[in-house]
């Protein structure tokens, strides 16, 4: 094989085949791990979305709900019950597709050896090895962003205005529209590509061909249903995300910046993070070709945006994840597989991933259960059991719920028959359950509501505020969330009997 820029690449086919084997092996490992790990609260929340498919939701666009729905539909088609594996199946495949497209970008930049390096780095980087296992919007975001970048690179490698260039620009536009339909932070991808085009004269010449404009048109058409849904819902999803990421500053900006850096070092691994940053820097210093320049600007622009955002609001460690797609490709193209720092970074990343996998299944790190993020998925079946026991003691129609959206979805998932569960939504951040009919809209006079609420001294605020709307409020059994012998947190069951009608107004809450 010959490299797109004319350099012969020895053993390209062999390296490329090995890269494909590595990518497939990583997919198999992720699927096995996805089947073994209980669902996290955010995942059950997205599963509840998938039972009400729409073109948009309060928190995010619809891609994750579509992927989850496809998995549960496939399980039903083959006669299998809904499961964590079914919910995660297509998100895991999407995450692995992100790795494959990253590998394909690296191959275009540096041949088979670069492809193999990228495949190994993506397979073992903690962010990519653990994040795409979960059914979250990041999985389709990574897949569509990587695919979009691949076709942009392909378009830039082709002659300006040629059929190949135009068709690849249009495919990139479709991928961009799907990225918009996955997570709104994908807007950084066209913004950074545009910045790269404006910064470089040879790229500005591309504005004289139809490809970039057709890409924008196709992206808009693909994203149009999400825009329509938002318009019909007073742009609620856009407004929430802007406030969530760029709202009024809270706490220490220095702490937020340090948390962001620490999160990147943990999710990428310190050595690979440093090597990726160095690869992007070297790309700028070496006056690289147009495709490499675009990739470097995309990576840098995303990092800069989230560093700036952390000055105002907390930035979750996974948010900059798409920036590592171009960074990995550039790292793979610039660093030979024999580089000792690269080998050391891969080895450290592999150790971190192994620890993450083992700890998720059998705790080995000295973390208190209450502070262990992995423990958030534990114990919900026990809470649901206590709720169902209380429900069985009540006469008449009885509904279940909680006061936080994640916990509502966990109760719905773990309860027999997976009933509709209700969020009281009196306090806490706004969420999708407020856009669906609530308890007051569905229940009739005389119905009951069983809630799982945080155990507190006295009556919790939610039960207190709801008590005027029911004849009786009864304190039920404790329902601890257990991970093995360790208590993660404690809930108590509350039985609200004989609904009288009405519902308390929600106080103003800043998300």
What is d(CA 320, CA 68) in angstroms, rounded to the nearest whole number? Answer: 23
Q: Compute the mean pLDDT over every residue in the chain, rounded to the nearest whole number.
A: 91
- Residues 383, 450: contact at Cβ < 8 Å? no
Element spanning 307, H or E: helix 290-312
- Six token digits for residue 366: 């000295």
pLDDT tens, 459-504? Answer: 999 999 999 999 999 999 999 999 988 999 999 999 999 999 999 9
Rounded Cα distance between 194 and 177, Å, is 16
Cα distances (Å, whole numbers) of residue 210 to 77, 136, 147, 172, 189: 44, 35, 20, 13, 19
Indicate the pLDDT class of residue 2, thresholds 50, 70 and 90. very low
What's the confidence (pLDDT) of residue 230?
A: 96
Q: Residue 492 and residue 488: Cα distance in Å, rounded? A: 14
Across 351-359, average pLDDT: 92
pLDDT, tens digit (0-9, with 9 covering 90-100), for 174-200 = 999 999 999 999 999 999 999 999 999
Q: What is the share, in percent, of the chain residues with pLDDT greater than 70?
A: 95
Q: What is the DSSP string of 255-301?
A: HHHHHHHHHHHHHH-HHHHHHHHHHHHHHHHTT--HHHHHHHHHHHH
Predicted confidence at residue 7, as pLDDT, reads 45
Residue 186 falls in which region: left (phi positive, over 0), alpha (psi -120 to 50) or beta: alpha
- Name the DSSP letter for residue 40: P
**Quick one: which of 367, 352, 455, 456 has its CA closest to 130?**
352
pLDDT at 328: 96
DSSP per residue over 113-160, as a string? HHHHHHHHHHHHSHHHHHGGGS-STHHHHHHHHHHHHHHHHHHHHSPT
Query: Parallel, antiparallel, or unpaired for β 448-454 and 421-423?
Result: unpaired
What are the pLDDT digits (tens) for 84-130? 999 999 999 999 999 999 999 999 999 999 999 999 999 999 988 88
Counting every residue, how long is the chain? 511
Reference 106, options 129, 127, 122, 125; nearest CA is 122
Confidence of residue 250 (pLDDT cuts 50, 70, 90): low
Digit-coded pLDDT (tens) for 293-333: 999 999 999 999 988 888 877 888 888 999 999 999 999 99
Please give the pLDDT value at position 259: 81
Phi-psi domain of 339 (left: phi exceeds 0; alpha: psi -120 through 50; beta: other): beta
State how far the Cα of 185 lies from the Cα of 136, in Å rounded to an integer. 14
């Amino acid at each position: 094989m010959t490299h797109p820029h004319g350099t012969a690449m020895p053993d390209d086919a062999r390296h490329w085949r090995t890269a494909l084997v590595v990518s497939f092996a990583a997919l198999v490992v992720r699927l096995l791990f996805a089947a073994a790990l209980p669902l996290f609260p955010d995942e059950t929340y997205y599963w509840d979305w998938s039972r009400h498919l729409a073109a948009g939701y309060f928190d995010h666009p619809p891609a994750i709900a579509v992927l989850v729905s496809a998995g549960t539909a496939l399980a039903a088609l083959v006669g299998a019950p809904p499961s964590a594996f079914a919910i995660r199946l297509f998100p895991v495949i999407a995450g692995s597709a992100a790795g494959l497209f990253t590998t394909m970008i690296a191959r275009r930049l540096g041949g088979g050896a670069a492809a193999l390096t990228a495949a190994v780095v993506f397979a073992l980087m903690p962010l990519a090895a653990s994040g795409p296992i979960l059914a979250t919007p990041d999985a389709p975001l990574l897949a569509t962003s990587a695919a979009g970048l691949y076709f942009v690179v392909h378009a830039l490698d082709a002659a300006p205005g040629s059929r190949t260039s135009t068709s690849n620009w249009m495919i990139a536009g479709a991928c961009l529209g799907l990225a918009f339909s996955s997570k709104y932070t994908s807007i950084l991808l066209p913004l950074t590509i545009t910045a790269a085009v404006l910064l470089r004269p040879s790229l500005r010449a591309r504005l004289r061909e139809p490809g970039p404009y057709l890409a924008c048109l196709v992206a808009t058409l693909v994203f149009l249903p999400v825009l329509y849904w938002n318009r019909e819902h007073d742009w609620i999803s856009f407004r929430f995300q802007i406030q969530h990421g760029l709202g009024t500053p809270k706490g220490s900006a220095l702490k937020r910046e340090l948390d962001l850096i620490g999160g990147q070092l943990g999710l990428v691994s310190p050595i690979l993070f440093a090597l990726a940053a160095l690869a992007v820097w070297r790309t700028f210093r070496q006056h690289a070709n147009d495709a490499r320049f675009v990739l470097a600007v995309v990576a840098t622009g995303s990092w800069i945006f989230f560093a700036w955002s952390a000055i105002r609001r907390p930035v979750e460690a996974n948010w900059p994840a798409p920036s590592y797609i171009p960074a990995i490709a550039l790292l793979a193209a610039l660093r030979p597989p024999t580089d000792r720092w690269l080998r050391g970074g891969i080895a450290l990343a592999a150790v971190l991933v192994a620890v993450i996998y083992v700890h998720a299944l059998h705790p080995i790190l000295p973390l208190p259960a209450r502070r262990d993020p992995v423990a958030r998925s534990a114990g919900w079946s026990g809470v649901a059991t206590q709720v169902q026991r209380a429900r069985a003691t009540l006469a008449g129609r009885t509904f279940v719920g909680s006061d936080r959206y994640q916990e509502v979805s966990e109760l719905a998932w773990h309860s027999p028959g997976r009933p509709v569960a209700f969020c009281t939504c009196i306090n806490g951040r706004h969420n999708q359950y407020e856009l669906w009919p609530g308890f007051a809209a569905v229940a009739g006079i005389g119905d009951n509501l069983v809630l799982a609420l945080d155990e507190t001294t006295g009556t919790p605020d939610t039960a207190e505020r709801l008590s005027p709307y029911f004849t009786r409020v009864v304190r039920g059994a404790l329902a601890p969330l257990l991970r093995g012998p360790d208590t993660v947190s404690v809930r108590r069951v509350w039985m609200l009997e004989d609904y009288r009608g009405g519902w308390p107004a929600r106080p103003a809450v800043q998300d």
